[in-house]
Chains A and B, each alone.
Chain A
């Protein structure tokens, strides 16, 4: 017999694994100090929270691998728990690359009664502790986008956005859906704006277009959502929001996001909707990519080298 292949080995170095263990402990300590309770949420669920352009992995039992612990944590809140978090693995089909993996580690937490500003404050404290850099004061999506692209993402017409993408050399090859406004904004955001965000220190961007998140509370202006993202070295680290509590609006949005996907509307998480009808309290929540956080903390340029067993070694 020849030598065994060495793809059985962990994809992260020993020292990195030790730092990873320390980071997981630090995150739990941060939550524990603030009285946020850890809930070890299940990874298999009978329903999904349909989101724009998000593909769930399904199981042979006809269930789904969760793309976030959101439904479980909100059910816990509706049942009367105060502040809760989950630190574990989630799954998103078809997302693989330097900064993406179909299975990854997420820290997600919900704080009762916190608004957008307060939850950004708490997230900024956590990130600055771990990264050793303060998070810059929040700027709105419209300000950041307009400054970098030179067009207002809300008032510019779709063909100007398309032209800008073509001029900047980032337009998709087969741009047949040239009137797909959301696609052009995503294209400019992820290929032009995001790469230059957070070169010096983590930056926070708020008030994204309202159509973005299924379960995010709308802002008073009716065109933006009370949502924020934090970027460091062009990588999105955290994604949070003031949460939507209206079950009817939640249901309509989730139905809308199942259109044109393989997810049947019957797959919408009914237990989450029941919990919302019972009453999810006013709260704010954040999802934080732990693999990305560790990679940026240690100066790596991809997540596979900080994961114990990266997707390619599964």
Chain B
């Protein structure tokens, strides 16, 4: 795998440290008035999302991480892993609940997701920004009830619970903004 030295460090560069893939968040070049230069680097571990700070001597080389993003189709959850398929070559990958994270509650079969792959296995799954999901359970809205701010909880087909307007009924399909976890509108089809 290709190497980069500290002079090529910049935000967004993905490298391998201690066997894990990291993304450079911030790189600061430091050097005393006379003497050795260093790079003080903030990095995000792409597996754990934890941010760490590390020092490199100027000129030191590290291995580039083979990390790239691709659009994949969500297939199903088998109770242990989430399965995705590359629509171009029909290759399948499985992702752990850890890498799917919060996206899990929005995933429905056939949805296209942004999958971050490291050496072919998924590191992170990003659900589509907007998904259309059916309401499986919600109480009938009580007219004139303003104590709840004109909204009520609704459980969606994926199990996610969102707040919806009082007029929404079971069986309706709603458009959801997954980044905010909010109801947007009724889906028109």
Contacts and interface: CB of A to CB of B under 8 A. Distances in A.
Interface string A157-184: 0000000000001111110000000110
Interface string A171-207: 1111000000011011101110010000000000000
Given A94-B7, A169-B53, A191-B40, A174 B60 contact: yes
B29 A191 contact: no
A169 B52 CA distance: 10
A189 B32 CA distance: 7
Interface stretch (A13-21, A37-45, A96-104, A266-274): A96-104
A29 B62 CA distance: 48
Contacts of B59: 94
Q: Point out which of B28, B35, B59 has the most chain A C-beta atoms below 10 A from its C-beta.
A: B35
A169 B28 CA distance: 15
Contacts of A182: 35-36
Q: Point out which of A98, A172, A239 has the most chain B C-beta atoms below 10 A from its C-beta.
A: A172
Given A94-B59, A173-B17, A174-B60, A187 B38 contact: yes
Is chain A's interface secondary structure helix, strand, loop, or mixed overall? loop
Interface in A88-131: 94-100
Q: Point out which of A183, A186, A189, A194 has the most chain B C-beta atoms below 10 A from its C-beta.
A: A186
B29 A190 contact: no
A203 to B, nearest CB: 13
B33 A236 contact: yes
B11 to A, nearest CB: 13
Given A172-B57, A173-B56, A208 B38 contact: no
B29 A172 contact: no
A122 to B, nearest CB: 18
A199 B94 CA distance: 52
A281 interface: no
A210 to B, nearest CB: 11
Interface in B33-61: 33-38, 40, 53-60
A52 interface: yes
A52 B29 contact: no
A182 B28 CA distance: 21
Contacts of B163: none
B55 A173 contact: yes
A171 B55 contact: yes
A213 to B, nearest CB: 6
B160 interface: no
B33 A95 contact: no
B58 A190 contact: no
Interface in A196-243: 208, 212-213, 227, 229, 236, 239
B39 to A, nearest CB: 8
A183 B30 CA distance: 13
15 contacts: A52-B34, A53-B36, A53-B37, A100-B29, A171-B55, A173-B17, A173-B54, A173-B56, A173-B60, A186-B32, A189-B35, A190-B30, A191-B40, A191-B55, A208-B34
Closest 3 CB pairs of A and B: A97-B29, A186-B35, A186-B36
